[in-house]
Amino acid sequence: MELSKPLILVADDEAESLRLLTSILRTEGYEVAASDSGDLALASAAAQTPDLILLDLRMPGMDGLEVCRRLKQSEATRETPLMFISGSSDTESRVEGLAVGAVDFVTKPFQREELLARVRTHLELGRLRANLEKEVAQRTAELESALEQLRQSEQALRVSETRLASGADLAGLGFYEVDFGEDSTYVDERMCDVCGIPSDPNQVVPGLQFWMDQLHPADRPRVVEERHKLYEGTRERLSVEYRYLHPARGQRWIDHQESVAARDATGHALHAYGVLRDVTERRQAEEDLRQSYAEIERLKERLEAESDYLKAEMRATQPHGDIAGKSAGILQVLRKVEQVAPTDASVLVRGETGTGKELIAQAVHRLSLRRNHVMVKVNCAALPSGLVESELFGREKGAFTGALTRQAGRFEVADGSTIFLDEVGELSLEVQAKLLRVLESGEFERLGSSRTLQVNVRLVAATNRDLIEAVRQGKFREDLYYRLNVFPIHVPPLRDRAEDIPLLVWAFLEDFSSRMGKKISQVPRKTMEALQRHSWPGNVRELRNVIEHGTIISEGDTLRIPILEKSASLAAPGPTLEEAEREHILRVLNRTGWHVKGPRGAALELGLKPATLYSRMEKLGIQPRLRAESSAV
């Protein structure tokens, strides 16, 4: 059966914008209802409820805000996701739109892929919400029906027990009498039936002995002890339930009530009466009821899990991406991100290794006006010193030995976007001088070229070093430090925000469980408390590794964490210069299929002569792969 296409209502008073939106959406296979005014949009929504609404914020007559208010007042469209479209991206407009019920905000001119991604996201969230509400309603109805049946069963059981009790009182149900003075016992016919006593009920010893012999072995000592207390005077009334092995009906549950009618001067029983009744059905009903309540709890937990899943889907649309936390420290960081992101000011992100400095840089870029371009990332510590300048600013053909082609630098690639320099404190003083010039004027030259290039780049830098101390030691330029430190953001270490650890644990656990095909839904309280007490010298990166390891070794639905003292308690030291060079050469060799020579060889990409590259490989312990090399000849 073919599924119906989602219906999207688009309202925009600008004809060209309305036409473009309609064309894009219909090309993607959506049904589109187009309106050029607020009144027509309301009429269209009333005629046929859309799955998603795209609404221009500013329209003549009835503007988008008023249309949104009326749509949210309607029962039919109250839950329909609504996205505002506006040529203005100011915060006030966003706040107004979100306040009246919008779920998203798209700024004109919009990018096709971004628009379609947002449309798909909100349609999917709407579908998940509708499915969840439908299942909740269905499960609620089923539970109410089951509870009503249980209530009826309980009521019927109470009526039955009342009748049985009345019958026992009126007809002597399961009645017996013991006369210790006369040394005689009377057992009526109903008790013979309940207990399966085959002999003459008026025979004292056979009847009682048969009943005693048929008591369940596990319950017999308890019953004997209770009757002894009653007869000795330490107890006024016997009330006990026990299992009884009926010769014809198998194991039954017996409710036994007995009291003493007369005692001698020492308190010992002279005359006693007892009533027995079979309560097996009541016991079974209680067990059925217990299992039903257990089933209700299981369904409740499943609904809660589905609700958590929907919340996680909604969290994925939040502007701060993978940054999880509610501590004062991380919230302060996010406030700073929101303050500086719309500007072009340089940002210096400081923090220990593994605190998530790159995520902060991504958040700054994601909220900036440059977000439609890809952020360029450079790890300054991972680049060999001889290649840093070429990587950042590019080179001309013949700029140095082995530079056989022209190469654009990372700053050229980042023109109009954001460049993220991680571990900026590792740059040499020479490269720092050129970086300062780019920050001041936006100008630089490729290696081997006298032509000045102009770029418009927003810089976000990160470091785990104390740059002020580096300035004092002459290892970092003071003027560059002040250029970078226009807007500093300090990311607190994980040990200072332990309240964020549960959120991070669940975020990592959801990610790894999904990747590994596991369903881990429980973290023991002691485990979570131990995680919060740990000092985490490796910060969030160390926590992530520990959760990944725990996910791998865990079986079932409960997370197992190894002893934290055995986890990676110290951050791994950074690579040496030789290690970084070896890693870079290996990356290029893998990318070129281990071809050293030729037009697609690693030597050409690295800007080295093949003989020089062979020499460096031998020094670094890299063995050439002859098969790959021979195929390149």
CB 538 within 8 A of CB 353: yes
Quick check: 567 pLDDT over 50?
A: no
Over residues 16-26, the mean pLDDT reads 89
At residue 631 the predicted structure's pLDDT band, cuts being 50, 70 and 90, is very low
Q: Which of 90-99, 210-219, 319-328, 546-555 has the lowest mean pLDDT?
A: 319-328
Task: Report DSSP letters for 176-198, one per residue.
Answer: EEEETTTTEEEE-HHHHHHHT--
May I ask the CATH architecture of the domain 495-566? Answer: Orthogonal Bundle (1.10)
Parallel/antiparallel/unpaired status of strands 487-490 and 458-463: unpaired
Neighbours of 280 (CB within 10 A): 17
Domain 7-110, CATH class in plain words = alpha beta
**Across the strands, what pairs with 318?**
none
pLDDT tens-place string over residues 554-565: 888 889 887 554
Quick check: 338 pLDDT over 90?
A: yes
| E strand or H helix at 360 | helix 357-366
What is the distance in angstroms between the CA of the first residue and the CA of the last residue of the chain?
A: 58
Which comes out higher in pLDDT, residue 132 or 576? 132
What is the percentage of the chain residues whose pLDDT exceeds 70?
87
pLDDT tens-place string over residues 161-208: 566 556 555 544 788 888 887 777 888 888 888 888 876 645 544 567
pLDDT tens-place string over residues 55-97: 988 888 888 888 899 998 988 888 889 988 887 777 787 888 8
- Residue 115: phi and psi, rounded to 5, are -60, -50
Amino acid present at 576 = T
**Across the strands, what pairs with 399?**
none
At residue 604 the predicted structure's pLDDT band, cuts being 50, 70 and 90, is confident
β-sheet with 250-263: strand ranges across: 184-187, 175-179, 269-278, 250-263, 237-246
Structure tokens at 544: 């992530």
pLDDT score, position 601? 87
CB 196 within 8 A of CB 245: no
Structural domain spans, the chain: 7-110, 172-278, 328-492, 495-566, 577-632
Closest C-alpha among 576, 554, 549, 581 to residue 564: 549
| 405 Rama sector, left if φ>0, alpha if ψ -120 to 50, beta otherwise | beta
Q: How far apart are CA 77 and CA 298, in angstroms?
A: 33
Is it true that the peptide bond before 384 is cis, omega within 30 degrees of 0?
no
What is the percentage of the chain residues whose pLDDT exceeds 90?
23
Structure tokens at 451: 């032509």
Structure tokens at 585: 């050469």
Q: How far apart are CA 458 and CA 95, in angstroms?
A: 26
Over residues 564-570, the mean pLDDT reads 47
Q: How far apart are CA 49 and CA 31, in angstroms?
A: 12
Quick check: 386 pLDDT over 80?
A: no
Quick check: 360 pLDDT over 90?
A: yes
Parallel/antiparallel/unpaired status of strands 250-263 and 237-246: antiparallel
**Across the strands, what pairs with 490?**
350
pLDDT tens-place string over residues 477-520: 999 999 999 999 999 999 989 899 999 999 888 888 888 888 88
Q: How far apart are CA 335 and CA 348, in angstroms?
A: 15
pLDDT score, position 114? 85
Q: How far apart are CA 233 and CA 226, in angstroms?
A: 11
Neighbours of 31 (CB within 10 A): 15
Q: How far apart are CA 597 and CA 614, in angstroms?
A: 10
Q: How far apart are CA 51 and CA 7, in angstroms?
A: 5
Q: How far apart are CA 443 and CA 421, in angstroms?
A: 17
Within this chain, domains 7-110 and 328-492 share the same CATH topology: yes
Q: How far apart are CA 413 and CA 350, in angstroms?
A: 25
pLDDT score, position 200? 60
CATH of domain 172-278: 3.30.450.20
Structure tokens at 339: 């303050």
Task: Report DSSP letters for 452-500, one per residue.
Answer: EEE---EEEEEESS-HHHHHHTTSS-HHHHHHHTTEEEEPPPGGG-GGG
Neighbours of 422 (CB within 10 A): 20
pTM as predicted: 0.43
Q: How far apart are CA 541 and CA 518, in angstroms?
A: 22
Place of tokens 């007042």: 73
Place of tokens 């098969």: 627
Cα distances (angstroms) measured from residue 129 to each of 110, 135, 207: 27, 10, 68
Amino acid present at 483 = R
Count of all residues that appear for the chain in the document = 633
163-172, 264-273, 343-352, 392-401: range with highest mean pLDDT: 343-352
CATH of domain 328-492: 3.40.50.300
Structure tokens at 90: 């100011």
CATH topology for 577-632?
Answer: Arc Repressor Mutant, subunit A (1.10.10)
Quick check: 391 pLDDT over 60?
A: yes
pLDDT tens-place string over residues 525-540: 998 999 999 989 999 9
